[in-house]
Structure 1
Amino acid sequence: MRLLHTSDWHLGQALHNYERTYEHQRFLDWLLDTIVAEQADALLIAGDIFDTANPSASAQKQLYRFLREARERAPQLDIVVIAGNHDSPGRLEAPAPLLEAHGTSVIGNIIRNAEGVIDLERLLVPLRGKDGAIAAWCLAVPFLRPGDVPRIEAPDEGADPYLKGIGLLYEQAFALARGKCADGQAIVAMGHCHMVNGEPSNDSERRIVIGGTDALPAGIFDPAIAYAALGHLHLAQRVGQKEHLRYCGSPLPLSFAETGYKHQVVRVDLAGGKAVDVTPLMVPRSVELLRVPPQPAPLEQALAALEALDLADLPHELQPFLEVRVLLDAPEPGLRGRIEAALAGKPVRLAKIEPTRKRDPSNAETAALSLEQLAELQPDDIFRRLYLQQYGEEAHPEHLSAFAELMLAVPSEPGKP
């Protein structure tokens, strides 16, 4: 059978106040055509479908319209969706009874019974080939919070109970799937997590830091698993140099740090219980992201580079987004005005001005940050800075662990990630 693996759509995302509905729709239209052209049997969407826990009505309509059209154009297609750390598990699962009738399985929550035992059965989704027979079993594991994993009563000394719990959950789910497998059927895993040595995009990915551990080892996946479809990291990459353990990456650049990424979905062919072919399918980029100059440069050089821009005259929705990178010795009150003047009449959308100031490396922690830099700080960055400022030393792992669990326990405000 043939699978397509995608993740990290981040529907509803805005790039520095520019909404991106057009770009997402172009990707979804391409994906529909690809499903048909590749004669896919299943589509695996590995989390972060939405950019926030409370997505807009238009973002939700975009998802459900896609699912309906996928069913219409490929009636045999099985679709499996798991929640990512940006998604609200409950909101994502709410329409599940309706979606199941149209071939879509949505796993957002880890459910326990009255005795506290995890319902592993609901994490196993059968995937059917073109003949209608089960060809594979999918371990659909959503983003796991500390309360989601099996409790480790007596963890090894120095072991992280959260990491151990994740490993145990995958082990239990795999054992259940193996018991259901007939000859020739494959086991495929899905997960939304940060794996060891995974290369992140810090400008657009919310870091997952639990118990002082921010990455999981590839060993949590049993060697008999045919393919692991991962989400969370936006750069397409293999895990541990293994062809069958992969992040497919996001389908479009979600920050200017991702302008050089090759965005893709991954086609996976299964036969005899194994992945016999794993092939990236490149996603066309409908709107370009430009960084001018490529490296921060003094203001006059930056302005000259902007004035030299020669861009095609495109409709507004196709005009590239622009980040201007300026190296300053001192504050420049008229910076935006001078940049806008240099861009006058050019078919480009100014999304971000990134001023970089020369700093004293010995005073890096107390140096003033620009508004753009403040906006890019993660909550744990702020915690670390405040702790260092207050106590004159780095925060201890147990403090970081407690702060991370607190952040995951606090529900997001409407409209906030």
Structure 2
Amino acid sequence: MKILHSADWHLGAKLHGQSRESEQQAFLDWFLETLARVQPDILLLAGDIFDTATPPVSAQRQYYHFLYQAAQQCDAIVIIAGNHDSAAFLDAPQALLANMQIYVVGQAPQNAAEAVFALETKNGRAIVAAVPFLRERDIRCTQVGESLADKASAIADGVRQYYQQAAEQAQKLRRGSEPLIALGHLFAAGGKTTDHDGVRDLFVGKLGHLSATIFPQCFDYVALGHLHLPQMVAQNPRIRYSGAPLMMGFGESVSEKHIVQLHFHERQPIIDAITVPVWQKLRQLRGRQETVIAEIEALLNDEAAVWLEIIIEEGVFDSALNARLQDLVANTSVKILRIQQPSTQDFVAALSDTRQLYEPQEVFAQRLEKTPFNDVEKAQLTADFLTILQQVHDAH
């Protein structure tokens, strides 16, 4: 049995205002060709299919066209919602897609057993627990007066219990030695990210960074989404992020992108990576003005098609530099999407001891200490604030 695992497509995403629709379409076309070549039994998509909860029509069209074509190459497709996705939007055509053996779980069912599927393929059977991004309201009720430590522990316990309930159902459905697979979208503790890659903390204050121990050991493979760099979790080859197939920020410009391919030998996953081609090169140029200009001229001489982020690291702010650099690349295949000059860095450095670089709850706690409220009142106000903050976080 062959399985492919991918995630974090972010259809409809832009990079500093630049459309990526043609690049995303090139990936989807390549992926369909890969499906035709590999002929997997099951395709797993671990969330953040779209970049926003209200994806543009063009992104919706790409998604449904891909699913129609992919369903002809796979015996089953399982899709979960990520934190960027609208659970209701993904769930809307659920019944229709199920007729094509495409199983979608957008909103987490109250009963985790309802998110578990026994998939019959031409090469055997597999049990998949499709757990979407779990919002706080899916797994717990806010408690009055709880501390941040209590809140973090409660979130971890809620996620752990949900996966445990799904695992129990998966084990009930097992008839013999078929593999048990979990699909999830979360931030595993110790996971690697890059600057400006669009990866959001899933709960305020990094409370949702979860240990790999939340996954019951009965799962033979855990296919994760959310982090954009392909990686194992806690050095465990059975628990993996496939990573995003496209570079989501300039910090990823030196990383290779993958689709995970696996098959099972007596429930032991044999894992390989399929390298995703690069359709749009990204590059970050750093240094003094003259160094950066020389590097741009070299790219122009090579007729390179590349998008650039420019970071000027020394000197003083030059009001004419942005226009000069844009004129340099005008009517070429080189595009400058972002320019950062020293004044921006100096300004941020000057703010290093101000509230602007604190977490919101830290600012609230500092302000609360200066009020006349007693400890009980402060605890209630903190709980109310964290509830509101999480609601704002979920809405964005």
TM-score, with normalisation over the residues of structure 2? 0.87
Aligned residues: 383
**2:209 match:** 215
Alpha-carbon distance in structure 2 between the residues aligned to 1:361 and 1:66: 43
Is residue 2:375 matched to residue 1:406? no
- Please state how far the C-alpha of 1:166 moved relative to its aligned partner: 0.5
Q: Superposed, which structure 2 residues align to 1:241-256 within 5 Å?
A: 241-256=235-250
- The code of the aligned residue for 2:187 comes to H
* Identity %, equivalent residues: 31
- The code of the aligned residue for 2:388 comes to L
Alpha-carbon distance in structure 2 between the residues aligned to 1:169 and 1:257: 34
**1:383 match:** 360
- Please state how far the C-alpha of 1:274 moved relative to its aligned partner: 3.0
Alpha-carbon distance in structure 1 between the residues aligned to 2:340 and 2:271: 39
Range with bigger deviation, 381-390 or 79-88: 381-390
Alpha-carbon distance in structure 1 between the residues aligned to 2:347 and 2:100: 60
Query: Would you say the 8 A contact 1:7–1:49 is kept in 2?
Result: yes
**1:115 match:** none
Alpha-carbon distance in structure 2 between the residues aligned to 1:109 and 1:405: 20
Q: Which structure 1 segments of 5+ residues have no match?
A: 112-117, 369-376
For residue 290 of structure 1, the aligned residue among 283, 290, 296 is 283
- Please state how far the C-alpha of 1:257 moved relative to its aligned partner: 1.0
**1:44 match:** 44
Alpha-carbon distance in structure 1 between the residues aligned to 2:205 and 2:359: 17
- Please state how far the C-alpha of 1:130 moved relative to its aligned partner: 1.4
Sort the Cα spacing of 1:412 and 1:193 in 2 relative to 1 into closer, same or farther, 3 A. Answer: closer
Is residue 2:60 matched to residue 1:63? no
Q: What SS is found at the alignment partner of 2:310?
A: strand
- The code of the aligned residue for 2:104 comes to V
**2:119 match:** 127
Range with bigger deviation, 333-342 or 252-261: 333-342
Alpha-carbon distance in structure 2 between the residues aligned to 1:207 and 1:397: 24
- The code of the aligned residue for 1:327 comes to E
Range with bigger deviation, 302-311 or 56-65: 302-311
Query: Would you say the 8 A contact 1:150–1:168 is kept in 2?
Result: no
- The code of the aligned residue for 1:169 comes to Y
**2:262 match:** 268
Range with bigger deviation, 303-312 or 15-24: 303-312
**CA RMSD of the aligned region, Å?**
3.2
More helix by share: 2
- Please state how far the C-alpha of 1:221 moved relative to its aligned partner: 1.2
Is residue 2:108 matched to residue 1:142? no
Q: Superposed, which structure 2 residues align to 1:348-367 within 5 Å?
A: 348-357=334-343, 359=346, 363-365=350-352
- The code of the aligned residue for 1:303 comes to I
**1:184 match:** 177
Sort the Cα spacing of 1:397 and 1:221 in 2 relative to 1 into closer, same or farther, 3 A. Answer: farther
Sort the Cα spacing of 1:129 and 1:225 in 2 relative to 1 into closer, same or farther, 3 A. Answer: same
- The code of the aligned residue for 1:365 comes to S
Query: Would you say the 8 A contact 1:151–1:165 is kept in 2?
Result: no
Q: Superposed, which structure 2 residues align to 1:7-406 within 5 Å?
A: 7-72=7-72, 74=73, 76-111=74-109, 118-131=110-123, 133=124, 135-149=125-139, 158=150, 160-203=153-196, 204-210=198-204, 213-275=207-269, 277-292=270-285, 295=286, 297-310=287-300, 312-313=302-303, 319-357=305-343, 359=346, 363-365=350-352, 383=360, 405-406=387-388
Show CA shifts across 1:252-301 (max 9, x none): 001111111211010010232331x1111100011100222xx3x22233
Query: Would you say the 8 A contact 1:145–1:408 is kept in 2?
Result: no
Sort the Cα spacing of 1:398 and 1:252 in 2 relative to 1 into closer, same or farther, 3 A. Answer: farther
**1:372 match:** none
Q: Which structure 2 segments of 5+ residues have no match?
A: 371-377
